Amino acid sequence: MLRVYIEDEVMNKTHTFPFLSVIKRTFVRSGKMKKVLLLMLLSLVFTANATLNVVVAPVDQPMGWASYPDSKLVIHPSDELYIGFADDAIGAPANVQVGDVFYLGIADGPGALDLSAANALAGVEAVAVNDASMAADLGLQDGFLMVSIVDQPISSMIAYNLLFHCEGPGDVTFYAFDENYTVVDTQVIHQEVPEPATLGLLSLGGMVLAYRKRKA
- For every one of its 216 residues, what pLDDT tens digit does the chain have, with 9 covering 90 and above? 343 333 333 333 333 333 333 333 443 444 554 444 333 433 444 344 468 999 999 888 878 898 755 557 788 988 999 999 999 887 777 899 999 999 999 998 889 999 999 999 999 999 999 999 999 999 999 999 999 999 999 999 999 999 999 998 988 899 999 999 999 999 988 888 876 644 444 445 455 455 455 555
In a domain, 175, yes or no: yes
Does residue 31 belong to any structural domain of this protein?
no
25: in domain? no
Instruction: Check residue 191 and give its pLDDT.
Output: 85
The boundaries of the domain holding residue 72 are: 52-196
Does residue 70 lie within any of the structural domains?
Answer: yes
- The pLDDT assigned to 89 comes to 82
Q: Is residue 124 part of a domain?
A: yes
pLDDT value of position 195 = 64
**In DSSP terms, which residues pair with 16 in a beta bridge?**
none
- Identify whether 21 is part of a domain: no
Q: What does the pLDDT read at residue 113?
A: 95
Is the residue at 112 inside a domain?
yes
Which parts of the chain are beta strand (E)?
Answer: 52-58, 73-75, 80-87, 101-106, 111-114, 124-129, 144-149, 157-166, 170-178, 183-191
**pLDDT number for residue 88:** 85
Distance (Å, rounded) from C-alpha 64 to C-alpha 72?
17
Residue 46 lies inside a defined structural domain of this protein: no
Which CATH number does the domain housing residue 140 bear?
2.60.40
The number of domains in the chain is 1
